[in-house]
Structure 1
Amino acid sequence: MSSHRLFRFPKPQWLNSANSRTAGVYIAGALFSLALFTIIDAATFSHSTRNGSEFHMNFVDWIPGIFSALGMLIINSIDKSRLSGDNFSYSGDGVAWKARVVLFMGFAAMAGGLAGGVTVMVLKYVVPGAEWPAMWFGVGNVIANGLVMLSSVVLWVSQNMEDDYTYNLAL
């Protein structure tokens, strides 16, 4: 075993193939579509005639999802190779620290979206004492934001896998 490795067990070889990368992208898309379905289901049920409560979803319930989706867009727009480079020095073009700052902003937007979803659920549905059919509006919001975060993680990992047989052509 080499001494420069961090973990004792090696990464499985099947995890580093083009098929697993493609499967990761599809899984991330499925998670994101499930999140979108969850929030749309809660919103349509809140405005249907079957909702017998005074609780309804409005724009405040959508704001955490917007922040989570924006954070996902920011995070997955950054190439992983841009994060390694200069070591916070003032020389060079400074692309690495700019990429790290933008990546932090993306993670902060996603974390803020999930925290906002929990806050909306607690303040709008738990504190006033909503019963279960109306409680789904807040729970669905939290589930949707969690699925967006999970989708972003799966997409980040699958898009930034390194393959030994990948050729980078640069002029």
Structure 2
Amino acid sequence: MSSHRLFRFPKPAWINSANTRTAGVYLAGALFSLGFYTMIDLSVWSKSRLNYTDPSIHVTFIDWIPSICSALGMLVINSIDKSRLSADSFSYSGNGVAWKARLVLFLGFALLAGGLAGSVTVLVLKYVTRDVMFPALWMGVGNVVANAMVMLSSAVLWVAQNMEDEYTYNLAL
């Protein structure tokens, strides 16, 4: 066992396997698609339901704004390579590559957090303060669940994409 390891127990071999990476990417895709399926289902259900006492409560564009922010945050976060976060020694794109990557990563996480916070805000202001009861309250709760799924899928995809594999080659021109 090497002396520069932090923990006493060795890292399991399956963590850096290609199958684990593939499973993580598929899991992230499933979470993302379930999140947006939830939003689409809420929209369709809100426009097609019958016998509801308050017809003024529907899924509108305001409900979609947090999901759009979360999707953009996921796109920004997963477009950054993890090696760029500590890549100040490289000079291919000017000085300060690491702080630029960290700034963009921060903006991506801010979009994700803003999407989740926005969905909670929509839930409280549009549904809870109006004393909306279930099943119509599910439109607000489902929005929070959908954004949480997109946030979780972003984290899973970030980890899965940045796993190191002994069969992966990093070529630099």
Gaps (5+ residues) in structure 1? none
Distance 2:156 2:10 in 1: 20
3-state SS of 2:86 partner: coil
CA offset at residue 47 of structure 1?
0.7
Query: Which position in structure 2 is the counterpart of 1:24?
Result: 24
**Superposition map of 1:3-152 within 5 A:** 3-50=3-50, 52=52, 53-54=54-55, 55-86=57-88, 93-152=95-154
**2:88 aligned partner, one-letter code:** D
Query: Which position in structure 2 is the counterpart of 1:160?
Result: 162
Cα shift readout 1:69-109 (whole Å, capped 9, x = no counterpart) = 0000000000000001339xxxx621110000000000000
**2:112 aligned partner, one-letter code:** M
3-state SS of 1:47 partner: helix
Gaps (5+ residues) in structure 2? none
Distance 1:26 1:115 in 2: 26
Distance 2:7 2:139 in 1: 42
What root-mean-square deviation, in Å, do the aligned CA atoms of Structure 1 and Structure 2 show? 1.6
- Report if aligned partners of 1:64, 1:114 keep a CA contact under 8 Å in 2: yes
**2:75 aligned partner, one-letter code:** L
Distance 1:51 1:157 in 2: 46
Identity %: 71
Distance 2:11 2:85 in 1: 22
**1:34 aligned partner, one-letter code:** L
